Amino acid sequence: MTKQVAWHLATVPKMFKHPLQYHEIISKQFFETIWSQNVVDKNLLAVFAGYVEELRIRFSLNCDLTVFDQILRFWEILNKKIIEEKSPNSSRVIDFAPNHVRNLQLLSQILPSADSKRIRACFTCFFACVEEIPHIKDILKASFETVGNLGYSLYQYVMTPSQPVAIVKKRAETSSKIQEIGEKEEEPFDEMWLHGIGDADQSVAMRLEKVLFIVDNILSQSLNRTILEMMSFGLEEFLKTSEKEREEDTARFVQLDSAKMFSSFHAHLLVGCCFERLINIAEKTGFSPEECLQLLQISIQILNNASAKFNRLTVRRRSVDVFSLTEEEKKEIEATRATAKMCFPIVSTILLLTQGSRGLHDYHVKAVEAMANFIKAADTFPTDDHSFNSTVEEARNLLKDLKIDISQISAPPVPSRGDKRRYSQVDICQELMEELHDDEPAVKGGTLMQIAKVFRQRSVICNRLIEYGGFEVAK
C-alpha cells in the first residue's frame, strides 16, 4: 500500500506541463508536514522514503533539486565554511534552524536513494557534529560502507585544520523580571556556534577525540582494521623525519591557503593514541594473526625511525661546539619516547607468542634489531622518565634472555639532511601525475612548473616521466 501511494505521488498529473513544478509542490508539502510534528509519524516517513525512491528512479534530477538540495544545502555550506574559515574567534551560525537537524533525520531514512559522493563531501562537517546530533551516527554508519579506505578519511580529518562545532541551548531574553501567573515559560531553542581555531595541538587533539568517538560508537565491527589503517598513514607521515625535510618534500611554487599542513608531532600523537586504544582492545578481544603481523611491522618501523631521529641528533651534537634542542625538537623527542614505550610491550608479546613460527622468522630478526638499535640510540639522550627507563630496561632484559648481544647489532646508516632520494623515481612520477589531475588550479599549475623544470634540466626522472605520459598530459 505504501509503495502504491508513493508511486502515485511521484506521478505527474497531466495538468502540469513541467514535472519539476509538480515535484517542488509535493516535496515542500512533505517537509512542512514533517517539520510541524514533534514526533515524526512512522507511516509518513515510510511514504516519504518511497516517494524519494520513486523520484530517484523516474526523475533523478528532480529528486536532487527538490529533496536532497533541501536537506544537504545547509550542511554543504557549513562543511566548506569550517574548513576554509581560519578565524581564532567564535561565531554563531545565523542560518541554523532546528529543521536542519530534522532534515538529517529524514536523510538517515532515505540513504539508499542518496548520492554517496555528495554525502562523503560533508564528512568534515558530520564528523564535527557527530556528538551533537544523534542522527549523524546512522548516516555515517551507512555511508562508511561505500568508503574504500576509511582510515585515510579519518586521518585526513584529524590532520586538516577545521573549526569545532557546538550546539547550545538558549532561552529567549526578556526585559520583564516578573512572570505572570499562568504564563508559560518559553521553550529553549538551539544555537549553532563555530569556535575559532586556536592552538594547533589542542585543535588536533579535539578532532582526534571526535574520531575515536566515531571508531568506538560506529565502527565496532571493523575497529581493529580502521585503527591500524590510521596508524599506517600516521606512520607514513611521521617517517619524514623533520619539518625541514617535510617542507622539501611538499614544496610548491604556489602555496594554497587550504593545503594540509602536517606535523610530525601531531602524527606522533595520533599513532600514540591508536596504540593505547589497541592495547586496551588486546586485553579484551585480542588480534587475528594478520593483525598481529601488521602491528609488528608498524612497531618495527616506529622503532627504526625513532632510532634514526636520535642518531641524527647525536651526529649533529658531535659536529657543533654548542648543541641545543629547539622547543619543537624537545616535543618530538618526548613524543618519540612515549610512542616507542608503547611499541616495546607489543613487540615483546608478539615475539614470545610466535616463537618457532617459520613464516615470521624474518620479522622476528627485524624486530630484535629494531629494539636493540633503539635501546642504544636512546642511551645517548638519557631522561628522568622512570616509566620509559623501566620499559627500556625490560626490553634489554628480554634481549638478554634471547641471548642477543646488543653491542653486536650494527645500527642502520644515518641519512644526511641533504639526501634528496627518499623516494624512488616511480614514486615521484606517480605523485606528479596524480597532481596533474587535481581539481585545484593552483595545484595543477604548480605541478606543471615542476614538470617543466624536470624537462629543462633533463634530470634523472625525465625519461621515466615521459614513459608515464607526463609530457603528453602537460602539453
Cα(230)–Cα(152) distance, integer angstroms: 6
Contact 190, 167 (CB under 8 A): yes
Question: Of residues 452 and 161, which shows the higher confidence score?
Answer: 161
Question: Of residues 74 and 435, which shows the higher confidence score?
Answer: 74
Give the pLDDT score at 467: 62
Give the pLDDT score at 219: 85
Closest C-alpha among 232, 78, 285 to residue 162: 78
Q: Give the single-character DSSP code of 411.
A: P
Give the pLDDT score at 39: 85
- 45-59 average pLDDT score: 93
Please give the biggest Cα pair distance in the chain: 90
Contact 435, 447 (CB under 8 A): yes
pLDDT digits (tens, 9 = 90+) for 222-244: 788 888 888 888 877 766 544 44
> Hey, which of 3-12, 252-261, 464-473 has the most confident mean pLDDT?
3-12
Q: Which residues of 109-134 are buried (b: 16+ CB within 10 A; e: fewer)?
A: bbbebbeeeebeebbbbbbbbbbebe
Of all residues in the chain, what percent carry a pLDDT higher than 70? 76
Give the pLDDT score at 168: 78
Give the pLDDT score at 455: 72
DSSP conformation letters of 253-288: SS--TT-----HHHHHHHHHHHHHHHHHHHHHT---
Contact 438, 444 (CB under 8 A): yes
- 137-155 average pLDDT score: 85
Give the pLDDT score at 405: 80
Strand order through the sheet with 91-92: 91-92, 189-194, 165-170
Contact 311, 414 (CB under 8 A): yes
Kindly list the distances between the CA atom of residue 238 and the CA atoms of 246, 309, 376, in Å, as whole numbers in the listed order. Answer: 10, 11, 21
In this predicted structure, the answer to whether residue 186 has a pLDDT above a threshold of 60 is: no
**Grid cell in block for residue 73:** 544545502
Kindly list the distances between the CA atom of residue 335 and the CA atoms of 233, 254, 265, 277, 338, in Å, as whole numbers in the listed order. Answer: 17, 32, 7, 17, 5
In this predicted structure, the answer to whether residue 423 has a pLDDT above a threshold of 60 is: no
The least confident of 86-90, 257-261, 376-380, 428-432 is 257-261
Q: Is the dihedral of CA 427, 432, 437, 440 positive or negative?
A: positive
pLDDT digits (tens, 9 = 90+) for 357-416: 766 778 888 888 888 988 888 888 888 889 888 988 988 888 888 788 887 777 665 444
Question: Of residues 132 and 417, which shows the higher confidence score?
Answer: 132
